[in-house]
């Protein structure tokens, strides 16, 4: 089995080493989600048509992930554990209003983040590294790169306003 595919610049070993490094860090940090993600990407990389598959996953993967998370969130409604009365009672407490406000804020930050990542793909590496550090060493969850990019976008916009 050949692990390195020839490219225009010669054999690219760097991506393999980077992914294996992430797998090792995930293993040492005992982070099952990141272990699975790294293994899946490494397996996909071995497939003959991965260079056609990667752009599709890169472009649509976030939508698939958001859809899967949305399905997970809707399951308590489907099972009857959460109903209309729960929604109404949420609006009767400060905690409920804070939760609604945070949901709105996160959706707006995520919107900005997706746009920012599209316009500045070089930021992706730093965001991924920050996410890996947060997941492996701080017991975080890898749900934050898009939100993080939205926060980064807002901070960058604020700094640009102050610089002018």
Min mean pLDDT across 70-74, 89-93, 141-145 is at: 141-145
Domain match, 87 and 144 both? yes
Q: Is the pLDDT of residue 108 over 50?
A: yes
| pLDDT tens per residue across span 12-24 | 788 899 899 889 9
Residue 144 lies in a domain: yes
Distance CA(22)–CA(39), nearest Å, equals 10
Query: What is the per-residue pLDDT for 145?
Result: 62
- CA dist 145 and 151 (Å) reads 10
Residue 67 in any domain: the answer is no
Confidence class for position 81, pLDDT limits 50, 70, 90: very high
Residues 37 and 92 in one domain: no
Same domain, 37 and 96: no
pLDDT of residue 35 exceeding 80? yes
Is 55 a domain residue? no
Give yes or no: residues 110 and 156 share one domain: yes
Widest CA span in the chain: 63
Q: In this structure, is residue 9 part of a structural domain? A: yes
- Report the chain's terminal Cα–Cα distance, integer Å: 55
Same domain? 111 vs 42? no
Q: Is residue 57 one of the residues assigned to a domain? A: no
Q: Where does the pLDDT of residue 7 fall: very low under 50, low under 70, confident under 90, or very high at 90 and above?
A: very low
Domain hosting residue 18, numbered range: 1-46
Number of domains in the chain: 2
161 and 87 within one domain = yes
Please tell me whether residues 104 and 152 are part of one structural domain: yes
Share the mean pLDDT of the chain. Answer: 80
pLDDT band at 2 (very low <50, low <70, confident <90, very high): very low
Residue 75 resides in a domain: no
CA 18 – CA 56 distance, rounded (Å): 21
pTM: 0.64
């Amino acid at each position: 089995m050949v692990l390195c595919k020839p490219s225009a610049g010669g054999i690219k070993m760097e991506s393999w080493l980077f992914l294996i490094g992430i797998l090792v860090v995930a293993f040492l940090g005992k982070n099952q989600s990141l272990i699975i993600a790294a293994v899946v990407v490494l397996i996909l990389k071995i497939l003959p048509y991965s260079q056609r598959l990667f752009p599709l996953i890169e472009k649509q993967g976030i939508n698939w992930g958001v859809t899967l998370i949305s399905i997970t969130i809707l399951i308590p409604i489907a099972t009857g554990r959460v109903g209309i009365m729960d929604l109404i009672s949420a609006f009767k407490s400060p905690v409920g209003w804070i939760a609604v406000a945070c949901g709105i804020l996160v959706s707006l930050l995520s919107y900005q983040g997706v746009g920012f990542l599209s316009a500045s793909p070089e930021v992706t590496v730093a965001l991924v590294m920050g996410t890996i550090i947060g997941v492996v060493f701080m017991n975080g969850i890898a749900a934050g790169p898009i939100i993080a990019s939205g926060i980064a976008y807002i901070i960058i916009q604020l700094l640009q306003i102050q610089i002018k």
